[in-house]
């Protein structure tokens, strides 16, 4: 096997959060261990099923309900005026804390008492990252997708069967996105 390890999806990454700081560069040798992590997860997940589009409803307020925000963003074109900035702010909050809280205040600071254990939010956030895949400057969303999938794999034993099927679908979509970028850069990764 390989001397490279992929620790990012091991343990409970909602509690023992990854920092990804000072991650060693391994070049193309990284792809097989990343893929092995995903394949190991898929071996324990139900068959893939796309996430249902959440129902957009309530008007967004200055204090953001994360589920309502995700529903709004997923039901709107990724390039809609003002929506990209909201998606980027939520992405930034996730990048800083590696958590998604149920609520954020008007400055997009987490309302700590709202909790961060709603796994549906992480699945919807991953879908939001994919929603931006074809937009210019989408690499920060790919970065967020990789990390949220690491977190979801680390807690996959807590996913319901439908959530597990959704994670399987997200892993496939993540691979497709990485493969498209690799092909454009003429970097070969195995399927």
3-state secondary structure of 65: strand
Residue with tokens 């979509």: 173
Collapsing DSSP to helix, strand or coil, 102 comes out as coil
Contact between residue 72 and residue 113 where contact means Cβ atoms under 8 Å apart: no
The per-residue pLDDT string of the chain (191 residues; one tens digit each, 9 = 90 and over) reads 357 776 766 766 676 766 665 666 666 777 888 899 999 999 999 999 999 988 876 555 555 899 999 999 999 999 998 899 999 999 999 999 999 999 999 889 999 999 999 999 999 999 999 999 999 999 999 999 999 999 999 999 999 999 999 999 999 999 999 999 999 988 887 65
Nearest to 170 by CA among 184, 188, 149, 189: 149
For residue 1, the model assigns a pLDDT of 38
Residue 70 CB partners (closer than 8 Å, separation 6+): 54, 90, 121, 124, 125, 127, 128
Structure confidence at residue 9 (pLDDT): 67
The token pair that represents 139 in the structure block: 């690499």
Alpha carbons 78 and 53: distance in angstroms, whole number: 14
Length of the chain counted residue by residue: 191
* Dist CA 160 CA 119 (whole Å): 10
Helix (H) or strand (E) holding 103: strand 103-104
Structural contact between residues 42 and 184, judged by C-beta atoms closer than 8 angstroms? no
Of 166, 135, 138, nearest to 152 by C-alpha is 166
């Amino acid at each position: 096997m390989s001397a490279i390890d992929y620790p990012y999806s091991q343990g409970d990454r909602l509690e023992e959060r990854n920092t990804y700081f000072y991650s060693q560069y391994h070049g193309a040798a990284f792809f097989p261990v990343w893929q092995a992590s995903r394949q190991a997860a898929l071996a324990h997940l139900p068959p893939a099923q796309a996430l249902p589009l959440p129902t957009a409803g309530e008007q967004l307020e200055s204090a953001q309900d994360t589920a309502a925000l995700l529903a709004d963003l997923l039901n709107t074109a990724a390039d809609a005026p003002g929506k990209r900035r909201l998606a980027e702010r939520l992405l930034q909050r996730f990048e800083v804390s590696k958590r998604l809280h149920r609520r954020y205040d008007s400055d997009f600071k987490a309302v700590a008492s709202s909790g961060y254990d709603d796994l549906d939010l992480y699945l919807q956030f991953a879908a939001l990252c994919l929603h931006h895949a074809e937009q210019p400057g989408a690499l920060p969303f790919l970065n967020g997708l990789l990390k949220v999938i690491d977190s979801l794999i680390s807690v996959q034993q807590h996913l319901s069967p439908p959530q597990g099927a959704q994670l399987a679908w997200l892993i496939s979509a993540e691979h497709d996105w990485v493969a498209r970028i690799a092909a454009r850069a003429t970097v070969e990764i195995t399927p």
